[in-house]
C-alpha cells in the first residue's frame, strides 16, 4: 500500500498484510539478522517482571527472587504501579536472596536454600516459586538441586520458573516459556469431571463462578482458592466473568481459570474435560502442554470480541461437549438483543477506517488488537493496525497462526519502531490519506496518551486499553456478547460526541492539542 508523501514513508514504513510482516521479519533468536534489519531494537519487557506478575495471580504463595536486590525492587515497583492497582491479588510477598558480587563468584545456591527454609517458616505459604535473574542464570546456579535440598524441610510445595531477562528478550517468547511452567504445578487426575471446562490465558484476572459460588470458599479439597472475585467484579466484571456466564448458560461448569487460585486449585486443573482459550499468547502454549502431559483436549478459538467470533467460540465448545441446542438457543437470544445496537453502530461507521494501536509504548500487544480489528471489520470498518514492533510480532507466532488459520489477515504498519516511542496518530492517518471524519482511533494498553495535530473535540477516539477502560456490566477487554454491546456503545458515543461541537471534555484536552494551544496564548 502506498504511504504517499508522508513522514512515515521517509522513515521507511510501509503498509503490508500481517502475514507479510511476519514473513519479512527474521526469526526470533537470530540476533545478527534482527540487528541488521532493525538496528537499535531492544526488548521492551524483562522476562522476570512478566514471570512474577503472572505468579501474582496465585494465592497463599510467595515468590522468591534469586538475584540481586535491584532486580527485586524493579519487579516490586512494576507490581505496585502497573499491576496490583488494577488486577490480581492486592499483595504478593517477594523476598530476595540478595546476591552480591561475592555470590556471583562463589555461587548462590546455599543462600537460596537458606532463603527457602526461612520463607517456609516465616510466611507459612502453601506454595513457593523461585525466579532466577540474569546474574544467577549467568553463573548457572543449580536451582533445581537447591529446591530439592530445601523441599525436605519445607511444608510448602516449591516450584521454579526460569526468568532470566537475557534468555528471551521479546515479550511473546517470554510468555510462551513462562506459561507452560504452570503445567509443572499440575498433577495427573484420578478421574475426569464431565461437562467441566478450564479457561486458560486469563493473565491478571480472577474467577467468580455464577453456579459454583460454594466452591469459592476454599473447602480444603482442592476446589477452592481460585474463585476470589476480582475487585468491583459485580460492577466491572472481567473477561473470566463473561466467559463463565456463557459457558454456564449452555449447561457446562467452569472448573478452573488459569492463571489464578491457590496451589490446590492449580494442581487439579487436569480434572477438567476440556480447555477453552481466552488469550492465545498465554493460553495456547499451556493448552498444548496440558494435552501432552495430561491428554486434556483444547479448543482453538480465542479472544472472542464481536458477535460472530463470540458465536464461533461458543459453538466450538458446544459441538465438542454435545451442547449444540443449548448454545444455539443462547446465541439466538443474545444476538437478538444486540441486533438493534449492532445495526445502529454499523450504519454510523460503515466505510470508516479503524486505526488500532498495538500497545503504545509497550509495542507488544497483538492478539487483542487483532481480535478488535476482526470485530470492527464485522461492523463494516476497514481495520489498520500500527505500533507493533515486527520482532514482537515474530515472537507471537502462536497468535499469528491462530488468526491466519481463522482467515483473518488485515493491514499493519511495518517499520523499525523506535524504542518505546509511539507514532503520531496524525501521521498514521496522513499515510492513508484519511480526513478526520473518515476514521476512528482505537487506543490500547497501559499508556494511552497520544498527542495529535487536530483539536481534542474532533477526535473520534475509543479507549479499549484494559487498564483505563471501565464499562459498567461489561468485561474490560470487551469479550463475549456483553463486551460487544459495550464496544458498540463506546463507538456510538465517540461518533456522536465528536460531531456535537461541544466544549472539549477533560479527556479530549489531555489527548488533543487543545490544552497546549490554550497554554501558548
**pLDDT-derived band at 82, boundaries 50, 70, 90:** low
pLDDT at position 83: 60
Give 226 or 190, the one with higher predicted confidence. 190
Q: Which of 29-38, 184-193, 225-234, 497-506 has the highest mean pLDDT?
A: 184-193
Instruction: Quickly state the pLDDT bin for 294 (edges 50, 70, 90).
Output: very high
Pairing outcome for strands 439-443 and 353-357: parallel
221 lies in the same domain as 268: yes
Residue range(s) defining the domain that contains residue 212? 186-299
Domain termination residue (choose one: 284, 299, 314): 299
Of 138, 168, 198, the residue at which a domain comes to its end is 168
Same domain, 15 and 65: no
For residue 146, is it within any domain? Answer: yes
Written as one string, the DSSP assignment of 343-396 is HHHHHHHTT-EEEEES-GGG----HHHHHHHHHHHHTT-EEEEE---HHHHHHT
Lowest mean pLDDT among 97-101, 289-293, 455-459, 463-467: 455-459
164 and 214 assigned to the same domain? no
Task: Specify the 3-state DSSP secondary structure of 199.
Answer: strand
What integer pLDDT is reported at residue 446 of this predicted model? 56
Q: Are 382 and 4 in contact (CB under 8 A)?
A: no
Is 18 part of any domain? yes
Note whether residue 232 is domain-resident.
yes
pLDDT, the chain, mean: 84
- CATH number of the domain to which 352 belongs: 3.40.50
Instruction: Find out whether 305 and 225 touch, Cβ atoms under 8 Å.
Output: no
DSSP string, 132-183: E-HHHHHTT--HHHHHHHHHTT-SSEEEEE---GGG--SHHHHHHHHHGGGG
- Shared domain for 450 and 488, answered yes or no, is yes
In this predicted structure, which of 93-97, 102-106, 157-161, 267-271 has the lowest mean pLDDT? Answer: 102-106
pLDDT digit string, tens, across residues 422-473 = 888 888 998 999 987 899 999 876 554 544 555 545 567 888 877 667 778 8
Residue 213 in this model has a pLDDT that exceeds 60 = no
pLDDT, position 421: 79
> What's the pLDDT score for residue 418?
85
Q: Which of 168, 195, 210 is the last residue of a domain?
A: 168
Tens of pLDDT, residues 377-412:
999 999 999 999 999 999 999 999 999 998 999 999
Residue 438 is assigned to a structural domain of this protein:
yes
Say whether both 216 and 344 belong to one domain: no
Q: Are residues 152 and 216 in the same domain?
A: no
pLDDT band at 123 (very low <50, low <70, confident <90, very high): very high
pLDDT tops 90 at residue 255: yes
Element (H, E) at 64: strand 61-66
Domain for residue 503, yes or no?
Answer: yes
Check whether residue 80 and residue 118 sit in a common domain: yes
Q: Are residues 161 and 219 in the same domain?
A: no
The CATH number of residue 156's host domain is 3.40.50.1980
According to DSSP, residue 337 is labeled: H
Same domain? 343 vs 282: no
| Reduced DSSP (H G I as helix, E B as strand, rest coil) percent helix, strand, coil of the chain, to 5 | 50, 15, 40
DSSP 3-state assignment of 518? helix
Q: Within a domain: residue 174?
A: no
Q: Are residues 401 and 463 in the same domain?
A: yes
pLDDT at residue 25 in the model: 94
515, pLDDT greater than 60 = no
Q: In this structure, what C-alpha cell is assigned to residue 11?
A: 522513515
DSSP string across 231-271: TTTTTS--HHHHHHHHHHHTT-EEEEEES-B-HHHHHTGGG
Does residue 248 sit in the same domain as residue 371? no
Q: Is residue 313 part of a domain?
A: no
Cβ within 8 Å of residue 166, ≥6 positions away: 134, 137, 138
Confidence (pLDDT) at 504: 57
The total of structural domains in the chain comes to: 3
Handedness of CA 36, 42, 46, 51 (dihedral sign): negative
In a domain, 81, yes or no: yes
Same domain, 288 and 390: no
The SS3 call for residue 42 is coil
Residue 221 has pLDDT above 80, yes or no: no
Amino acid at each position: 500500500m502506498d504511504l504517499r508523501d508522508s513522514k512515515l514513508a521517509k522513515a521507511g514504513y510501509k503498509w503490508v498484510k500481517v502475514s507479510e510482516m511476519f514473513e519479512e521479519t527474521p526469526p526470533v533468536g537470530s540476533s545478527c539478522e534482527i540487528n541488521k534489519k532493525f538496528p537499535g531494537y531492544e526488548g521492551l519487557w524483562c522476562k522476570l517482571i512478566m514471570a512474577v506478575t503472572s505468579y501474582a495471580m496465585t494465592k497463599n504463595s510467595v515468590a522468591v527472587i534469586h538475584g540481586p536486590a535491584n532486580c527485586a525492587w524493579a519487579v516490586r515497583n512494576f507490581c505496585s504501579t502497573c499491576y496490583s492497582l488494577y488486577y490480581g491479588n492486592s499483595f504478593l510477598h517477594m523476598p530476595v536472596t540478595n546476591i552480591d558480587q561475592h555470590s556471583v563468584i562463589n555461587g548462590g545456591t546455599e543462600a537460596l536454600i537458606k532463603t527457602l527454609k526461612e520463607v517456609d517458616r516465616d510466611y507459612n505459604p502453601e506454595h513457593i516459586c523461585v525466579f532466577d535473574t540474569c546474574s544467577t542464570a549467568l553463573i548457572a546456579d543449580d536451582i533445581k538441586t537447591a529446591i530439592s535440598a530445601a523441599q525436605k524441610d519445607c511444608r510448602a510445595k516449591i516450584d521454579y520458573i526460569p526468568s532470566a531477562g537475557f534468555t528471551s528478550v521479546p515479550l511473546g517468547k517470554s510468555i510462551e516459556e513462562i506459561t507452560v511452567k504452570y503445567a509443572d504445578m499440575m498433577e495427573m487426575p484420578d478421574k475426569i469431571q464431565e461437562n467441566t471446562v478450564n479457561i486458560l490465558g486469563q493473565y491478571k484476572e480472577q474467577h467468580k463462578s455464577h453456579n459454583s459460588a460454594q466452591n469459592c470458599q476454599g473447602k480444603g479439597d482442592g476446589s477452592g482458592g481460585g474463585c476470589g472475585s476480582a475487585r468491583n467484579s459485580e460492577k466491572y466484571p472481567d473477561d473470566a466473568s463473561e466467559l463463565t456466564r456463557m459457558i454456564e448458560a449452555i449447561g457446562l461448569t467452569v472448573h478452573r481459570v488459569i492463571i489464578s487460585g491457590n496451589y490446590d486449585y492449580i494442581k487439579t486443573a487436569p480434572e477438567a474435560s476440556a480447555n477453552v482459550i481466552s488469550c492465545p499468547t498465554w493460553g495456547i502454549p499451556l493448552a498444548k502442554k496440558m494435552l501432552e502431559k495430561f491428554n486434556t483436549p483444547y479448543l482453538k478459538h480465542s479472544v472472542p470480541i464481536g458477535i460472530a467470533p463470540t458465536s464461533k467460540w461458543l459453538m466450538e465448545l458446544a459441538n465438542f461437549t454435545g451442547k449444540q441446542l443449548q448454545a444455539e438457543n443462547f446465541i439466538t437470544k443474545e444476538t437478538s438483543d444486540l441486533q438493534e445496537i449492532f445495526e445502529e453502530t454499523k450504519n454510523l461507521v460503515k466505510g470508516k477506517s479503524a486505526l488500532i494501536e498495538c500497545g503504545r509504548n509497550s509495542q507488544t500487544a497483538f492478539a487483542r488488537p487483532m481480535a478488535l480489528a476482526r470485530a470492527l471489520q464485522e461492523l463494516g470498518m476497514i481495520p489498520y493496525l500500527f505500533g507493533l514492533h515486527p520482532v514482537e510480532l515474530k515472537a507471537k507466532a502462536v497468535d499469528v497462526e491462530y488468526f491466519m488459520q481463522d482467515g483473518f489477515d488485515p493491514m499493519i504498519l511495518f517499520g523499525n519502531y523506535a524504542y518505546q516511542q509511539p507514532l503520531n496518530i496524525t501521521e498514521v492517518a496522513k499515510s492513508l490519506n484519511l480526513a478526520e471524519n473518515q476514521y476512528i482511533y482505537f487506543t490500547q494498553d497501559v499508556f494511552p496518551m497520544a498527542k495529535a495535530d487536530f483539536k481534542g473535540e474532533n477526535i473520534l477516539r475509543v479507549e479499549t486499553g484494559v487498564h483505563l477502560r471501565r464499562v459498567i456490566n461489561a468485561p474490560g477487554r470487551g469479550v463475549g456478547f456483553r463486551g460487544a454491546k459495550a464496544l458498540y456503545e463506546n463507538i456510538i458515543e465517540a461518533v456522536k460526541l465528536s460531531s456535537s461541537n461541544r466544549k472539549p471534555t477533560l479527556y479530549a484536552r489531555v489527548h488533543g492539542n487543545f490544552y497546549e494551544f490554550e497554554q501558548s496564548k
